[in-house]
Amino acid sequence: MTTLRVLLADDQALLRSAFRMLLDTADDITVVGEAADGGEAVSLTRELRPDVVVMDIRMPEVDGLTATSRIAADPELRGSRILILTTYETDEYVAQALRAGAGGFIGKGIGAGELVDAVRTIAAGDTLLSPAATRSLVARFLATPDGAPRNNPERLAVLTPREREMVALVATGLSNQEIAEQMFLSPFTVRAHVQRAMTKLEARDRAQLVVIAYRTGLVRAAPDDGAGHGA
């Protein structure tokens, strides 16, 4: 069994200890280091080469978004994926984190099992957005004049009916595991459908897949929160 190496970056020692305890419950994950600010996170990433850096946003000296950008821009650190774990799931932070190169964005209110699954998802090369982060991303897109150029709905013609269904579910903020449970499929099958859809639509990551779903009209925003699941 391959053991995933994780670096924790948060300015609160108590939270780092809590996250370490949660992650250490998994047989395939080990926490190899802790950083109290973004600058230390960058240094330890270069030194330890973790598979995943669990990064807070608001930290002293160098914040998590700046640290994420520095790590993602370093060709030697391409093997280290970044998972943003924060209390602040705002549209601005979500957009900045994705632009900086983060592979995932989740809130600190998640459970132990969800955190473990998130680390595994990021380590596997997938992009993960919490439902709140997905809503923020969509809200930001819809707030843009005309939502930026819209894609022709015919773009979706390359997808199979099942792939279209998967893209629509991804756009609501569901994880592969949640989609699998809802559709009575294995997570592996769901991941395969999502990956094929991303390839066909030339989406570089899960976040872009969400935007495509809205731009093509596959999913339409609900009037209350901007993340409704449409036809």
Structural tokens at position 95: 């957009």
What number is the average pLDDT over the span 50-56? 96
Q: Quick one: which of 147, 197, 189 has its CA closest to 171? A: 197
Q: Are residues 62 and 115 in the same domain?
A: yes
Q: Are residues 58 and 171 in the same domain?
A: no
Burial annotation 90-115 (CB, 10 A radius, 16+ → b, else e):
ebebbbbbbebbbbbbbbeeeeeebb
Range(s) of the domain holding residue 178 = 138-215
Dist CA 120 CA 156 (whole Å): 29
Dist CA 166 CA 69 (whole Å): 30
Higher pLDDT, 36 or 105: 36
The verdict on residue 220 lying in a domain is no
61-103, pLDDT tens digit by residue?
899 999 999 999 999 998 999 999 988 777 678 778 877 888 8
188-203, pLDDT tens digit by residue?
899 899 989 989 998 8
CA triplet 87, 101, 152: central angle to 5 degrees? 100
Dist CA 39 CA 28 (whole Å): 27
Q: Which of 73-87, 130-144, 202-216 has the lowest mean pLDDT?
A: 130-144
Cα 197 from chain centroid? Answer: 17
Q: Are residues 114 and 59 in the same domain?
A: yes
Q: Quick one: which of 41, 30, 15 has its CA closest to 120? A: 30
Q: Are residues 117 and 199 in the same domain?
A: no
pLDDT(170) > 80: yes
pLDDT(120) > 70: yes
The verdict on residue 156 lying in a domain is yes
The verdict on residue 131 lying in a domain is no
Residue 159's CATH number = 3.40.50.2300
Q: Where are the alpha helices (DSSP H) in the chain?
A: 13-23, 38-48, 64-73, 91-100, 112-123, 131-143, 161-170, 176-183, 187-201, 206-215
- In DSSP terms, 54 is beta-bridged to 8, 83
